[in-house]
A and B are shown apart, each in its own frame.
Chain A
Amino acid sequence: MEEIIRLENVTKKFGGLTAVDNFSGAVETGSIVGLIGPNGAGKTTLFNMMSCTYPPTSGKIFYKGMDVTKARTDSMAIRGLARTFQVTKPFGDMTVVENFMVGAFLHTRDRAVARKQAEEIYEYIGMGCGECKAANETTTVDRKKLEIGRALATKPELLLLDEVMAGCNPQEKLELVETCRKIQKSGVTLLVIEHDIKTIMSLCEKIIILHRGAKLVEGTPSEVANDPRAISAYLGEDYHAGC
């Protein structure tokens, strides 16, 4: 299958700290890939490099076959890459729908068109709050949904979700898993960072485990779950026994 994004020997150093160490990997078009690993493993750094927030120290990133290593963040959105933020960044002064409109304006100048698209996304994503509510008055789960919705409004082909389920209760997590599946079915490729192993095992087709900036294991959920390296570094003996 075709690869939507490919990283080749990517390294990122912040001064003396190597956050990502010689990482290579790819995401196939149309799939859901999970990215897991302990805190500080370099997951978000990897996301930031994919969305061109900062360039890698060395290595190359290819998006749909094109070298985007030194591209600008805003140009990635136009190319079809959208992301959410681990620490949610709503546009607080605006309503939820207006937040989505900002995303929708990427492909239109017309305010009415943007509004219509934003309202469609609002329905699609199933927010629990009122339309008029200011974005900074919403609950955690609605903020996470707002992040997803705003990214979706840019009509992405690849969506990077950075811990959207963190801080949500089991019921809300189920809802978000359903939303992710729905998004995948509509033809969007998903790359998901998550800490809830159960959720990610059931959601993803492929899982990559990062450990100290380097790729530890890559494979299907069952392969990963039974890999001794993954168990010792991250999953733990209990998880293996639980399976």
Chain B
Amino acid sequence: MNTTERTNFFQGKIFAILGVLILLVVPNFVSTNVQIVFILILFYGLCASCWNIVCGFVGELSLGHAVFLGFGAYISTLLLMDGSLSPWVGMFIAAIITAAFGVIVGLPCFRLHGPYFALTTIALGELIRIFVENNEKVFGINIRGAMGLVLKQTGNQFIAFEFANKITYYYVLVAFVAVTILVTWLIKNSKLGYYLTAIKSDPDAAESLGIKLTKYKLIAMAISCFMISFAGTFYAQYFRYVGPTRIFSHDMSVQIALIALVGGQGTVFGPLLGACLLVPITEFLSEEFGGTMPGLHLFIYGIMMVLVVLYMPQGIYKNVTGFFKKLEYKIFGWDKANRKSIGKGVK
């Protein structure tokens, strides 16, 4: 017997399938308030997944990814407001520009490692935020400074990426997340994924095997920025407002990174799992304690974070999937045919 892993008909995936079904179906039958939480889960899951493509695989901590999110939001929205270009087209233009910007930024940044890389990305985030807040015009383009961009409500228009109900936004987001997860999966199972994991493990050894470190890091950066730009477009269209103080904020960057770190960096589903855990807790706590004991929700949130980092430094992904696999075997046992073959193996 080669496989010592126990398995049954569901192959340890029943709860994963269940989870996906919940995400797909349940938002149809809940109140708008709960739908908003679902949208936030997927939005942060999407951002964290994009962050994961470059930082999770390469192992550098970017604390400035909100910049690329903001770029996506700003460019597609400006194209819509000043150029009357549909966001469905604009988001691709935004994605290409964001990816190019990511490569330009990555070129010097990826020469740094560890805390230096993280600090530089923080500086980048703050730089862009302060710049946008204090400038009305850039290259003749009216970016409207600290006021931000306000999109008018025009009703339910597919072409303008504007929908009357939350659930349509939700399913658009589901599509975005699905594409991002697919891209992550493709990367993980390709030459690029192997190279990035190798670079993360040991850059010197990777280089000696002919891996061009900067080239592959920049490819990952470009893909990550390309994808997170879509999340930015969604943000702008969903909230109908893009303010530099929020979208370029350091908080946003940190939140994206933390969700991916807690979920499990370098895994395909980890960041989404992290969002499924952290976003509802944040929402629940701030609703429950936000009024009576302001700050308490942040306190609890912080404690949780410390616990996860202390006891599951690789993220919760492994532990959670392991737990659900065990649970599945308890409930369903494992496959009869397979049990026979295990018996043979013992003989």
Contacts and interface: CB of A to CB of B under 8 A. Distances in A.
Nearest to B206: A102
B212 A98 contact: no
Contacts of A213: none
Given A89-B204, A91-B202, A109-B191, A150 B197 contact: no
Contacts of B208: 51, 53, 73-74, 76-77, 82-83, 85, 151
A1 to B, nearest CB: 27
B212 A74 contact: yes
A98 B213 contact: no
Contact of B210 (A92, A93, A106): A106
A110 B200 CA distance: 21
Contacts of B251: none
A199 B190 CA distance: 41
B211 A93 contact: no
A155 to B, nearest CB: 10
A106 B190 CA distance: 13
B202 A89 contact: yes
B201 interface: yes
B172 interface: no
Interface string A42-79: 00000000010100000000000000000011111110
Contact of A78 (B195, B198, B210): B210
B111 to A, nearest CB: 14
Contacts of B206: 91, 102
B158 interface: no
Contacts of A108: 191
A101 interface: yes
A33 to B, nearest CB: 19
* Chain B interface bracket (under 10, 10 to 19, 20 to 34, 35 or more): 20 to 34
A102 B194 contact: yes
Contacts of B210: 74-78, 106, 154
B211 A74 contact: yes
Contact of A93 (B195, B197, B205): B197
A103 B266 CA distance: 20
A23 interface: no
A105 interface: yes
A182 interface: no
A14 to B, nearest CB: 17
B209 A102 contact: yes
B191 A91 contact: no
B209 A154 contact: yes
Contact of B195 (A89, A90, A102, A154): A102
B204 A85 contact: yes
Contacts of A85: 204-205, 208
Contact of A94 (B191, B201, B204, B213): B201
A77 B205 contact: no
Given A93-B201, A102-B198, A150 B209 contact: yes
Interface of A: 51, 53, 72-78, 82-83, 85, 89-94, 98, 101-103, 105-106, 108-109, 111, 114, 150-151, 153-154
Interface of B: 189-191, 194-195, 197-198, 200-202, 204-213, 266
17 contacts: A51-B208, A53-B207, A74-B211, A74-B213, A82-B208, A89-B205, A91-B205, A93-B197, A94-B197, A94-B198, A102-B209, A102-B211, A105-B195, A106-B210, A108-B191, A151-B208, A151-B209
Given A91-B202, A106-B210, A154-B210, 7 more contacts: A74-B213, A85-B204, A91-B201, A92-B201, A93-B197, A93-B200, A94-B201
Q: Which 5 A-B pairs have the closest CB atoms?
A: A77-B210, A89-B205, A91-B201, A89-B202, A106-B210
